[in-house]
Amino acid sequence: MVTGVQLRRMAVNEEIDYLFLKNALKDYISPRSKITSLLKQKTILRIKKGLYIFGKEYALHPYVKESLANLIYGPSYVSLEYALAFYGFIPEWVEILTSVTNKKDKRFSTPVGMFTYRYLHPKKYPIGVTQIFYDATHPILIATPEKALADKMLLETSHLNLTTEKELKTFLFDDLRIPLHKIKELDVRLFNQIAELYQNKNISRLNQFLKKRKK
């Protein structure tokens, strides 16, 4: 008999999949029935079919939400407001984690929150995606600040027409509340590459603004 404590000790991370459970419970006549029992007892929580985390009583560490986002639906990378908050570009922490995918838009309601996925054309997808390590066992695919900002402008502000520098500044500093010193941290060369690929008027306007500030 495998207890919840023993099961947690067998796992590297709080996030586990069906294959791990099937192997850990291989001595049971019906591993599926045992998994159902573990779910009822809240030893584990189902995030989606085949993906789980340990319940509060058995967890040794906090689960990594960004890692879950990568695992729930892929290929995908963390982006938009969540990534901007992650890098300290916007002051408020964002509860709904939005990722970008080169597949269809999706939305997942889970026991640990909402995960949203926005479609981006495959040709625009790879540029500006980076891998960071949250810790030794959690590599995370996430947008660079430049790409996260471009994704925000492309996917969620298409209704805006930032024709003047004043309108652009209002969007950056008032609407998104990005501090000026964080704007200065943006990689102008990378943003220029993204702007050329995205072909969006608002992003091009910001690209011109960044180039102007660099001079």
One DSSP character per residue, the chain reads ---HHHHHHH-SSSEEEHHHHHHHTTTSS-HHHHHHHHHHTTSEEEEETTEEEE-TTT-SS---HHHHHHHHSSSEEE-HHHHHHHTTSSSS--SSEEEEESS--EEEEETTEEEEEEE--TTTSSTTEEEEEEETTEEEEEE-HHHHHHHHHHHH-TT----SHHHHHIIIIIIS---HHHHTTS-HHHHHHHHHHH--HHHHHHHHHHHHHH-
Examine the domain organization and report whether 73 and 48 are in the same domain.
no
Please give the pLDDT value at position 15: 98
Please give the pLDDT value at position 179: 96
Please give the pLDDT value at position 166: 95
Examine the domain organization and report whether 184 and 117 are in the same domain.
yes
Examine the domain organization and report whether 32 and 73 are in the same domain.
no
Examine the domain organization and report whether 73 and 50 are in the same domain.
no
Structural domain boundaries, residue 45:
4-54
Number of domains in the chain: 2
Q: Is the pTM here over 0.75, yes or no?
A: yes
Residue 140 lies in a domain: yes
Examine the domain organization and report whether 126 and 148 are in the same domain.
yes
Please give the pLDDT value at position 215: 61
Please give the pLDDT value at position 142: 99
Task: Going from the first residue of the chain to its last (215 residues), give the mean pLDDT of each consecutive group of 10, the final group possibly shorter.
Answer: 94 98 95 96 97 98 97 98 97 91 98 97 98 97 99 90 93 96 96 98 96 78
Examine the domain organization and report whether 111 and 197 are in the same domain.
yes
Residue 61 lies in a domain: no
Examine the domain organization and report whether 91 and 165 are in the same domain.
yes
Please give the pLDDT value at position 95: 86
